[in-house]
Chain A
Amino acid sequence: MDPDSATAVRVAAAEQEALISGSEAVAVATRLADVDVLTAYPIRPYDTLMQYVAKQIANGEQDAEYIVAESEHSQFEIAKHAEAVGARAMCGSSGVGWCYAFEAIAVTPALRLPLVAMVGNRALDDPGAFGTEHNDALAARDLGWMHVWVDTAQEALDTTLMAYRVAEDRRVFLPCAISTDGAFLTHSQTLVKIPPQTWVDEFLPPYNRGDLRLHPDNPITIAPQVNEDWLMEIRRQTDEAMRNARGVIEEAYRDFRRIFGRGEGNPFFEEYRTEDAEVVLVGMGTLSMPVKVVIRKLREQGEKVGFVRVRWFRPFDHERLGALLSRFRAIGVIDRDFSMGSPFNSGVLANEIRATLYAQDRRPPVVSFIAGLGGREVTIPAVKEMIEQTRRAAAAGKAPADTQWIGVRA
């Protein structure tokens, strides 16, 4: 039997399927990853993760310290300090809860603590809104956290395992945030393959903090005052770690494919029907569903359209993404976020794409869209409109200067 077939047989024999939500998929992953310390504090939609964890703990299916904290700030601080003594930890939040923890979030990368957190993406309310918006996670985009956006419950489970593998690699030792769109992913159930423990153990080595573990046998001083004498060198080291993460992510996905038999393609972004596409849309998270539906329909009518879903936002694969996107005649970037007063009044992703393309010899027009804020549905007609506008930019060889808000009342 050739190796591929052997893997297929192994997959069929050993994986179980369960109908679970994105949050539950992450909870299952924390059990498989033998996470030592989990901290909880309620805010919708992220809190569903810890509700599932609580059940696993209560039913004796998971052996971990499960701590209900008194604020998001404490939740992240508890998890951070658990990581410092060499315990694998998980926490997370949503919306303004993530902002409440921001002080702890800001210091974790420089401490080189590989904490993994789930963000159940949610609007920053006021005004009150539970729905998906990416500004919560994106607020931390520049701080040294790795950020990955997932699309399905299966990807949520798999990516949680990969996040620990990458974050805990000594070449990286950086925290990782897994963004899951609130409601669309956190609360929607799909069939998920749950791998056997042996595969996870083969893939994910124990968290080894080595000579950085805070313990009486290793009396080190962590995070002293460095001031202008050393801060820049430490920032540079953190930057180096983020650069290293690109290669480590590749290795992790390669190993994941070998052991689990899934996860094809570039880890950093997913390409959908891009092979001969003339125009593509680019976006992150669950808006891929309506976009893919429209593209499938248009492809049936012979239209050359495609979609690129950015998975790893930090580190950003500017080289390959730039090379890919420069092939097309025009690009439409859908932001489920905003960045008021930014260049071209765009969302965050659109300007990242513009910056990425600048290094390319061929720079197709970029149309930037803002859509689906606060959990508003990105509808089929809305996607069609965005593709149409992108096609017009391709024909004109020029994009509108300003950002287009899609599906918003006049």
Chain B
Amino acid sequence: MDAKLQVPTLDSPLPVLEPIKGVKKAPLEEYFTSGHRTCQGCESALVMKLMVKAAGPRTVVLGSTGCMYVANTTYYSTSWVVPWMHTQLGSSGSAAVGTAAGYRALMRKGKIKREPINVISFCGDGGGADMGLSAISGALQHMDYNHLILLYDNESYANTDIQASGSTPYGANTTFSPHGKAKRILHKRWKKNMAAMLAAGHPECRYVGTVCASYAVDFMNRIRKALSIGGPTFIHSLDPCPKGWDYDPMLSHELGELAVLAGIWPLFEVEQHQLRLYGKTRAIVEGRQKRLPVRDYLMKQGRFAHFTNDDIDYFQAKIDEMWTRWLIPGVLPFSTDVLNERPPA
């Protein structure tokens, strides 16, 4: 391997976490259990459960403000079997660095036992893609510290009443972007491309990936890879949210699949500079799976109920552009073509 791809000082011990070969081989132990108050059909709760199931008991979890803080940790009860600590809304990156740095110093100086400790810091899309972006970026530069930052993206500030974030999809109805008589669409920002942005912008970071908990084994194996590869890592998970997206809670799993199959949520990973599409995304790109129309995904959700055919066409054109015009389809834009699509008036 190219020497410059090595972590400069891989002196903190790393865990050995073998890939899970199929759902029946997944560990039975749960480290995120009862005691939480998440909504029926909450996909983010499943993300928490799979995340620590994959990581195992020698794990410390830091949680920034958001649903997975407020709903999971009511004083005098906790759904966390592993140690857990709250961090501020924009601090998932800093919490990971501080925790990992503390352990590193204490282990080097012989003040605590030297052993691998998984540090996972999670944030929602508000905490991660908006407020905490700078701290996450900083964290991904400090190669001495082993940790994983997991962004669970339910595409709004879901805990505070469903307000638009930088990760809310174009046109979605939120309490900060209601559709009204004069303006059908108030939220005109296109969703941030967090994983690719961070992978492209942090050349030494050894692992960045996107996941969807609808594909649970793939999800857990990416957590394991991120925790055992060394240095700071980042995973972005798309989490269907019945409350924020306005759909029947029984459809959470299906909506995650549809987001992938419609090409809206590409599954990819950048592992030591190697980009790899995986799962159904790879099947679509290799022609083994037909990319579904975005209509199938959008029209199952109340947040897009106000969309006209023009809006759906515009959304479709933007997704088509990802796959036909982007320099790296589904991952990085920088098209060399002139873009003609404009939002409908």
Considering the chains assembled together, what is the distance between the CA atoms of A305 and B111 in angstroms? 52
Taking the complex as formed, is A301 at the interface, i.e. its CB lies under 8 A from any CB of chain B?
no
Taking the complex as formed, is B60 at the interface, i.e. its CB lies under 8 A from any CB of chain A?
yes
Shortest beta-carbon distance from A11 to chain B in Å: 29
User: Chain A residues near B95 (CB, 8 Å)?
Assistant: 77-78, 81
Taking the complex as formed, is A74 at the interface, i.e. its CB lies under 8 A from any CB of chain B?
yes
Considering the chains assembled together, what is the distance between the CA atoms of A229 and B74 in angstroms? 10
Chain B 101-144 against A: per-residue CB contact (8 Å), 1 yes, 0 no? 11111101101100001000000000000000011011000101
Report yes or no: B85 in contact with A84, Cβ–Cβ below 8 A.
yes
Shortest beta-carbon distance from B144 to chain A in Å: 8
Report yes or no: B74 in contact with A225, Cβ–Cβ below 8 A.
yes
Taking the complex as formed, is A223 at the interface, i.e. its CB lies under 8 A from any CB of chain B?
yes
Shortest beta-carbon distance from B31 to chain A in Å: 9
Considering the chains assembled together, what is the distance between the CA atoms of A222 and B97 in angstroms? 17
Report yes or no: B78 in contact with A67, Cβ–Cβ below 8 A.
no
CB within 8 Å for A224 and B105 given contacts A74-B134, A84-B99, A104-B88: no
Q: Please count the residue pairs between chain A and chain B whose beta carbons lie under 8 angstroms apart in the complex.
A: 148
Contact of A216 among B59, B70, B75, B94 (CB under 8 A): B59
Considering the chains assembled together, what is the distance between the CA atoms of A172 and B69 in angstroms? 27
Q: Which of B288-314 contact A (CB under 8 A)?
A: none
Contact of A82 among B82, B93, B101 (CB under 8 A): B101
Chain A 57-96 against B: per-residue CB contact (8 Å), 1 yes, 0 no? 0000001110101110110011111111111010000000
CB within 8 Å for A67 and B57 given contacts A77-B87, A87-B102, A214-B85: no
Shortest beta-carbon distance from B98 to chain A in Å: 3
Contact of B75 among A81, A86, A107, A225 (CB under 8 A): A225
User: Chain A residues near B91 (CB, 8 Å)?
Assistant: 73-74, 77, 104
Give the residue name and chain of the B residue nearest to A219 (CB).
Answer: B83
Considering the chains assembled together, what is the distance between the CA atoms of A84 and B103 in angstroms? 10
CB within 8 Å for A65 and B94 given contacts A214-B60, A216-B83, A222-B84: no
Considering the chains assembled together, what is the distance between the CA atoms of A70 and B90 in angstroms? 12
CB within 8 Å for A218 and B83 given contacts A37-B105, A224-B74: yes
Q: Which of the listed residues A36, A37, A220, A224 has the most CB atoms from chain B within 10 Å of its own CB? A: A224
Report yes or no: B109 in contact with A214, Cβ–Cβ below 8 A.
no
User: Chain A residues near B104 (CB, 8 Å)?
Assistant: 65
- B-side interface mostly: mixed
User: Chain A residues near B83 (CB, 8 Å)?
Assistant: 214-216, 218-222
Shortest beta-carbon distance from B37 to chain A in Å: 10
CB within 8 Å for A86 and B69 given contacts A65-B101, A67-B142, A225-B74: no
Give the residue name and chain of the A residue nearest to B104 (CB).
Answer: A65
Report yes or no: A83 in contact with B102, Cβ–Cβ below 8 A.
yes
Report yes or no: B86 in contact with A223, Cβ–Cβ below 8 A.
yes
Taking the complex as formed, is B276 at the interface, i.e. its CB lies under 8 A from any CB of chain A?
no
User: Chain A residues near B85 (CB, 8 Å)?
Assistant: 81, 84, 214, 221-223
Taking the complex as formed, is A261 at the interface, i.e. its CB lies under 8 A from any CB of chain B?
no
CB within 8 Å for A70 and B137 given contacts A65-B105, A77-B87, A216-B59: yes
Q: Which of the listed residues B81, B106, B108, B137 has the most CB atoms from chain A within 10 Å of its own CB? A: B106
Shortest beta-carbon distance from B112 to chain A in Å: 7
User: Chain A residues near B69 (CB, 8 Å)?
Assistant: 225
User: Chain B residues near A84 (CB, 8 Å)?
Assistant: 85, 98-99, 102
Report yes or no: A36 in contact with B134, Cβ–Cβ below 8 A.
no
User: Chain A residues near B94 (CB, 8 Å)?
Assistant: 69, 73-74, 77-78, 81
Considering the chains assembled together, what is the distance between the CA atoms of A289 and B94 in angstroms? 40
Question: For chain A, which range describes its interface: under 10, 10 to 19, 20 to 34, or 35 or more residues?
Answer: 35 or more
Report yes or no: B75 in contact with A224, Cβ–Cβ below 8 A.
yes
Taking the complex as formed, is A400 at the interface, i.e. its CB lies under 8 A from any CB of chain B?
no
Shortest beta-carbon distance from A9 to chain B in Å: 33
Taking the complex as formed, is B80 at the interface, i.e. its CB lies under 8 A from any CB of chain A?
yes
Taking the complex as formed, is A408 at the interface, i.e. its CB lies under 8 A from any CB of chain B?
no
- A-side interface mostly: mixed
Shortest beta-carbon distance from A86 to chain B in Å: 6
Report yes or no: B99 in contact with A81, Cβ–Cβ below 8 A.
yes
Chain B 159-180 against A: per-residue CB contact (8 Å), 1 yes, 0 no? 0000000000000000000000
Give the residue name and chain of the B residue nearest to A70 (CB).
Answer: B138
User: Chain A residues near B80 (CB, 8 Å)?
Assistant: 219, 221
Report yes or no: B98 in contact with A225, Cβ–Cβ below 8 A.
no
Give the residue name and chain of the A residue nearest to B98 (CB).
Answer: A81
Contact of A215 among B76, B112, B137, B144 (CB under 8 A): B112
Considering the chains assembled together, what is the distance between the CA atoms of A229 and B69 in angstroms? 17
Taking the complex as formed, is B58 at the interface, i.e. its CB lies under 8 A from any CB of chain A?
yes
User: Chain A residues near B70 (CB, 8 Å)?
Assistant: 225
Shortest beta-carbon distance from A72 to chain B in Å: 11
User: Chain B residues near A224 (CB, 8 Å)?
Assistant: 73-75, 78, 86
User: Chain A residues near B59 (CB, 8 Å)?
Assistant: 216
User: Chain B residues near A215 (CB, 8 Å)?
Assistant: 60, 83, 112, 117
User: Chain B residues near A65 (CB, 8 Å)?
Assistant: 101-102, 104-105, 144
Taking the complex as formed, is B220 at the interface, i.e. its CB lies under 8 A from any CB of chain A?
no
CB within 8 Å for A86 and B84 given contacts A74-B138, A215-B60: no
User: Chain A residues near B86 (CB, 8 Å)?
Assistant: 222-224
Report yes or no: B60 in contact with A63, Cβ–Cβ below 8 A.
no
Shortest beta-carbon distance from B33 to chain A in Å: 12
CB within 8 Å for A77 and B101 given contacts A63-B108, A222-B85, A229-B75: no
Shortest beta-carbon distance from A216 to chain B in Å: 5
Report yes or no: A86 in contact with B97, Cβ–Cβ below 8 A.
no
Taking the complex as formed, is A6 at the interface, i.e. its CB lies under 8 A from any CB of chain B?
no
Q: Which of A353-405 contact B (CB under 8 A)?
A: none
Taking the complex as formed, is B238 at the interface, i.e. its CB lies under 8 A from any CB of chain A?
no
Shortest beta-carbon distance from A166 to chain B in Å: 21
Q: Can you name 24 A-B residue pairings with CB atoms under 8 Å?
A: A74-B97, A74-B135, A77-B95, A79-B98, A80-B98, A81-B62, A81-B95, A82-B99, A84-B85, A84-B102, A87-B102, A87-B103, A206-B111, A216-B57, A216-B60, A218-B83, A219-B83, A220-B84, A221-B78, A221-B80, A223-B85, A224-B75, A224-B86, A229-B75
Query: Which A residues are within 8 Å of any B CB, using their own CB?
Result: 34, 36-37, 63-65, 67, 69-71, 73-74, 77-87, 89, 103-104, 107, 206, 214-216, 218-227, 229-230
If A77-B98, A85-B102, A225-B73 are given as contacts, then 17 extra A-B residue pairs at C-beta distance below 8 Å, sorted by A number, are A36-B109, A37-B98, A37-B102, A65-B104, A67-B101, A67-B142, A69-B94, A70-B135, A78-B94, A81-B98, A81-B99, A87-B102, A206-B111, A216-B82, A219-B82, A225-B70, A227-B75
